Amino acid sequence: MNPDTVGRPMEILLIEDDLEDAGLTLDALNQGEVPCRVSLVRDGEEALEFVRRQGKYARAPRPDLVLLDLGLPKLDGREVLAEIRNDSLLAELPIVVLTSSHAHREILESQRLHVEDYLTKPVDFDQFLTVVKSLRRYLLEDVILPR
Convert the pLDDT of each residue in 44-103 to its tens digit.
Answer: 999 999 999 999 999 999 998 999 998 899 999 889 999 999 999 999 899 988 877 666
Q: What angle do CA 10, 114, 135 make, to 5 degrees?
A: 40
Q: Is residue 146 part of a domain?
A: no
Determine if the peptide bond prior to 9 is cis (ω within 30°).
Answer: no
Rounded distance, CA 133 to CA 147, Å? Answer: 20
Give pLDDT, residue 115: 77
pLDDT for residue 33 is more than 80 = no
Domain count, the chain: 1
Q: Is residue 94 part of a domain?
A: yes
Q: Is residue 145 part of a domain?
A: no
Q: Is residue 1 part of a domain?
A: no
Domain span including residue 40: 7-140
- CATH code of residue 89: 3.40.50.2300
The pTM for the full model equals 0.80
Sheet strands (E) in the chain: 10-15, 36-41, 65-69, 95-99, 117-120
| Orientation angle between helical segments 77-85 and 44-52, nearest 10 degrees | 20
